[in-house]
Amino acid sequence: MKQRLAIAALGLLLSACQAVGPDYKLPDEAAVKRGDLQGQLAGEGNNVVSAPVPADWWRLYKDPRLDELVRQAMASNTDLRVAAANLQRSRYQVQQAESAGGWSAGVKAEAQRLQESGEAFLLTEKVPVANIGSVGISTSYQFDLWGTLQRGIESAQASADAAQAAADIARITLVADVVRSYTQVCAANEELAIANESLDLQRQSTELTQRLRDAGRGDETQVTRSQTQYKSLRADMPRYEAARQAGLFRLSMLLAKPVDQLPAGTGSCAELPHIAQLLPVGDGAALLKRRPDVRQAERQLAAATARIGVATGALYPDISIGATVGTVGILDNLGTGPTNRWGFGPLISWTVPTNGARARIHEAEAATQGALAHFDGVVLNAIRETQTGLAQYTAQLQRRDALDEAGESAKEAADQTHRFFQAGRASFLADLQATRTYTDVRAQLAAANTQVAMSQIDLFLALGGGWESGRTHAAPASKP
């Protein structure tokens, strides 16, 4: 009867217990719940459209070479390898947390030549030396009465979800870096070609100025000024090659292979990647669910909240029940009745909550408040980055369009001047100057196109597109 009452009391105790610490939920005051951050993103119009952001956004360029660069980078990039290793480690930490508590078992066996102390057995004579052995099997079950282990599992799982989000961040950052580096190579080659044309025109202008001076129709000042401009243009040429090499070296590092093993034609690309459609940007609500840094910060908040329960559980005793069976005695007698032993019963272990146990709870609570503030900051920064990217992209497009119009005017003026020159109504120098003006505008337009391309990349990075592609399997994270 006493045994039955003890078991019933233990069952009631188990049923009455609940997990220590707060259950995780997003606070009502969290920035991610603000309605004014969930609507349409500013800037929608002729440049962008409120459509879902594609997973493989770089395929919008329709550039097979760029697709191959991204594929190879996904397969061999060192940053992704680090992120994958961190994710795998976090998953093992979840397994470790799930294995804590519950059933455990052990086996122990030993044999030794032993001189035991007689006085240990209240004997005055010497105990004979003997061959002593012992074999024992033990098992126990630790009850998670206070939910401490459950909170530990919750914390580990949330940390694993945060590691998955970190891997997603590494992936979209890698894609953006690959596209940016490839664009840099193409832009450098294109701008170098235009710069060579401008340099050649200036050389012709300088030679003509010298001939006019020699014929008495000019002075030395005009020659010197023309030579100075030529030298200035020539001095600017190395930077294009440097930019090209920098882009190739960056691609080499991102793909973890030498430059000469990059996909064929990468170094000679002379046309910028171009998206011939409106850019899909989604809306604010989709953005906050899609960006991996937002998901990472939310999962870090969940992990910090669970750690409050872990710290609180240290205030309460650990209760387990166990059993042992074994045999101890002289080796020749092991297994006989006099050497056999067994035991069964509960075990309560409680460390008096001193030495800063309550301070650790307050520390965990403060860490949770910090994680919430960080989460809010990440949400607000996501909106800021996206809105800034949209504004800059729109401004770059407007500048590019204005330069395009200027280029059309400069081309028309150059064509008219050339026709006048052919008809004898304009000088050769005027023809050269008009052509050089057109070339200068082309150089500005090429630089503007480069800035537009870079703004597109920054915008897609801010939108968080690309993390879904090739994502490794992971337990689903709670959505903010």
pLDDT at residue 427, rounded to an integer: 78
- Reference 389, options 461, 473, 282; nearest CA is 461
At residue 105, the 3 state secondary structure works out as strand
412 phi, psi to nearest 5 deg: -65, -40
> According to CATH, where is 2.20.200.10 located in the chain?
104-143+317-352
pLDDT of res. 3: 54
Question: Do β-strands 48-49 and 279-280 pair in parallel, antiparallel, or remain unpaired?
Answer: parallel
DSSP string, 153-217: HHHHHHHHHHHHHHHHHHHHHHHHHHHHHHHHHHHHHHHHHHHHHHHHHHHHHHHHHHHHHHTTS
Q: What is the pLDDT of residue 10?
A: 52
Average pLDDT of the chain to the nearest whole number: 86
**DSSP label of 39:** S
State in Å, rounded, how far the first CA of the chain is from the last one.
Answer: 52
Q: CATH homologous superfamily of domain 104-143+317-352?
A: Outer membrane efflux proteins (OEP) (2.20.200.10)
Determine the length of the chain: 480
Q: Are 199 and 230 in contact (CB under 8 A)?
A: yes
The verdict on domain 23-101+147-315+359-468 having CATH code 1.20.1600.10 is yes
**Which residues belong to CATH 1.20.1600.10 in the chain?**
23-101+147-315+359-468
Residue 438: per-residue pLDDT = 86
Q: What pLDDT, on a 0 to 100 scale, did the predictor assign at position 475?
A: 38
C-alpha R_g of the chain: 37
Stretches in the chain below the pLDDT threshold 50: 5, 7-8, 11-12, 14-16, 472-480
Are 104 and 287 in contact by the 8 Å Cβ rule? The answer is no
Q: Is 264 left (phi over 0), alpha (psi -120 to 50) or beta?
A: beta
Closest CA to 206 of 183, 185, 229, 178: 229
Q: What is the structure's pLDDT at 402? A: 93
Q: Which of 184, 161, 177, 158 has its CA nearest to residue 80?
A: 177
Please tell me the distance from the alpha carbon of residue 304 to that of residue 466, in angstroms, as a whole number: 28
